[in-house]
Structure 1
Amino acid sequence: MTGQDPTGPIGIDTSKPHPARMYDWYLGGKDNYPVDEEMGKQMLALDPRVPVMARVNRAFMHRATRWLAKNGVRQFLDIGTGIPTEPNLHQIAQGVAPDSRVVYCDNDPIVLAHAAALLRSTPEGVTEYLQADVRDPATIIDGAGKILDLSRPVALSLVALLHFVSDEDGAHELVRSLLSELPSGSYLMMTHATSDFTPEDSAAATEKLKAAGITLALRSRDEFAGFFDGLELVDPGVSVVDEWRPELGEPVPGQENGIIPGYGAVGRKP
């Protein structure tokens, strides 16, 4: 275990909603609070597909991880892990390649409280948890480097995370900083919400979350593609999330009811 001791005291602020706990509520989990449920219901009133969107992001992670493991990747760094929901990334990766090594990273104390569920590795592989924020890439790389061999390819997973990081916080620069520490042959797997398809509802959602202290930086297709500058996109390139390699998983019930307002892609560092 890296980072904070999960058996020690953990400070969880239940006075305002948190994206990881809202995500848990959308997925039908129990690790959330009334404030998260209330904000979740407000988001549902704006777009009833939000729970489907959450499940579609998880399904993308499963498919992309499966593709990467089948194509020889044995190390994964998952930032913005969220509250564990099975199957977790390491279960997918180690289901293909039991010797896979996985480092999870999140800044929410409630994720730390459930870190034990993320550490049930195969005997051949490794899973570890690091308490850190994506806005502090140096700490993440330092911690990950104690578990992963950073001279060998690593898949960097940023699923449903960067739309909570503003341009003012340097979202694109943070991704470039993380990738700069990874060797040739590493990958970026990422999803991101967009307002391209629902501009009015997206603007209303952004304002509601801003009032609750949550940043929502929805980006266009071109802005999302910018995260992959300098990388070799894996076919089919930048796609609506549920349209990326659908043959590698099962469809999410409800995803057929209109376009999912988010993009996904996987890119290889030359």
Structure 2
Amino acid sequence: MTGQDPTDPVQIDTSRPHPARMYDWYLGGKDNYPVDEEMGRQMLALDPRVPVMARVNRAFMHRATRWLAGQGVRQFLDIGTGIPTEPNLHQIAQQVAPDSRIVYCDNDPIVLAHAAALLRGTPEGATEYLQADVREPAAIIEGAKRVLDLDRPVALSLVALLHFVSDEDGAHELVDRLLSELPSGSYLTMTHATADFTPEEAAAATEKLKAAGVTLALRSREEFTRFFDGLELVDPGVEIVHKWHPELGDPVPGQDDGVIPGYGAVARKA
């Protein structure tokens, strides 16, 4: 299903940083390269809370998945999966409902190299991995159809992903295209970094990443909310990431009551 044989040698570009590997470095992982660490340290110099932001996004995914499974959702499409960091989405969903079916999707070859860790699910359910880019919605949907029943609700997860896709690359259109293939009762789960609270640091980070070949499209609360046009936002709506249903999970180490510069929300397709 990956479109590439996992036993083939994986070609990894280590000449420039990649968001998935930087995210892994922020989380204390070892599946990254000096170029990723170097850029990560530059981001830390601009805002030392970046590793906390990474953990907060991860914790949001846990809470949102737990909530969705509790609502009866049994199918999940997670795009921008990243390098496996336990617990993964399928582990959270299948703890609630062992028959949950999950398709992971990412465009970084290093994630493919570790995809086996994403495929150890329950015998009652299913987990699969698809090597594709969010900018290829047709390929993602075609691959997802092999595991998911698109006549039944699906939770589409885009956590800490769309701030790497610019408006020029059609970020909103990509989300609309993916949602158009999902039936009524499906959900959109998203988090997104913002410059609303730290504009100067955000501008500097955007320029540094741009020079390294990485797009960073930070959006305001209003721009982020646009992704949910036509959907029914789950209470409390668009919220600072760590303030979305905190009762569903544990606090993130290093997190306080201050503002973490990112938004999160879950919404239902009517």
Shorter-chain-normalised TM-score: which range? Answer: over 0.9
Determine the structure 1 residue equivalent to 2:148.
Answer: 148
Give the aligned residue type for 1:166.
S
1:21–1:31 Cα contact (<8 Å) kept: yes
SS at match of 2:209: helix
Determine the structure 2 residue equivalent to 1:27.
Answer: 27
Give the aligned residue type for 1:171.
A
1:95-151: CA deviations, max 9, x gaps? 000000000000000000000000001010000000000001000000001110000
Determine the structure 2 residue equivalent to 1:112.
Answer: 112
Give the aligned residue type for 1:11.
Q
Q: Which runs of 5+ in 1 are unaligned?
A: none
RMSD between superposed Cα atoms in Å: 0.7
Give the aligned residue type for 1:261.
P
Determine the structure 2 residue equivalent to 1:214.
Answer: 214
Could you tell me how far apart the structure 1 residues matched to 2:6 and 2:236 are? 40
Could you tell me how far apart the structure 2 residues matched to 1:100 and 1:7 are? 27
1:181-200: CA deviations, max 9, x gaps? 00000000000000000000
- Greater Cα offset, 124-133 or 8-17: 8-17
The answer to whether residue 50 in structure 2 is matched with residue 47 in structure 1 is no
Give the aligned residue type for 1:3.
G
Determine the structure 2 residue equivalent to 1:183.
Answer: 183
1:3–1:129 Cα contact (<8 Å) kept: no
Could you tell me how far apart the structure 2 residues matched to 1:7 and 1:38 are? 30
Determine the structure 2 residue equivalent to 1:253.
Answer: 253
Could you tell me how far apart the structure 2 residues matched to 1:81 and 1:207 are? 25
What aligned pairs does 1:2-151 form with structure 2 within 5 A after superposition?
2-151=2-151
1:152-198: CA deviations, max 9, x gaps? 00000000000000000000000000000000000000000000000
* Shift in Å, 1:5: 1.4
What aligned pairs does 1:211-250 form with structure 2 within 5 A after superposition?
211-250=211-250
Could you tell me how far apart the structure 1 residues matched to 2:99 and 2:257 are? 39
Could you tell me how far apart the structure 2 residues matched to 1:107 and 1:19 are? 11
Give the aligned residue type for 1:79.
I
Could you tell me how far apart the structure 1 residues matched to 2:225 and 2:193 are? 12
Give the aligned residue type for 2:145.
G
Count of aligned residue pairs for this structure pair: 270
SS at match of 1:93: helix
Q: How much identity, in percent, do the aligned residues show?
A: 86
* Shift in Å, 1:257: 6.0
* Shift in Å, 1:3: 2.4
What aligned pairs does 1:183-202 form with structure 2 within 5 A after superposition?
183-202=183-202
SS at match of 1:102: strand
The answer to whether residue 159 in structure 2 is matched with residue 159 in structure 1 is yes
Could you tell me how far apart the structure 2 residues matched to 1:107 and 1:26 are? 19
Could you tell me how far apart the structure 2 residues matched to 1:22 and 1:61 are? 18
SS at match of 1:5: coil
* Shift in Å, 1:258: 2.5
1:180-225: CA deviations, max 9, x gaps? 0000000000000000000000000000000000000000001000
SS at match of 1:103: strand
TM-score with structure 1 setting the length: 0.99
Q: Which runs of 5+ in 2 are unaligned?
A: none
Runs of 4+ in 1 over 6 A off after TM superposition: none
* Shift in Å, 1:2: 3.6
The answer to whether residue 243 in structure 2 is matched with residue 205 in structure 1 is no
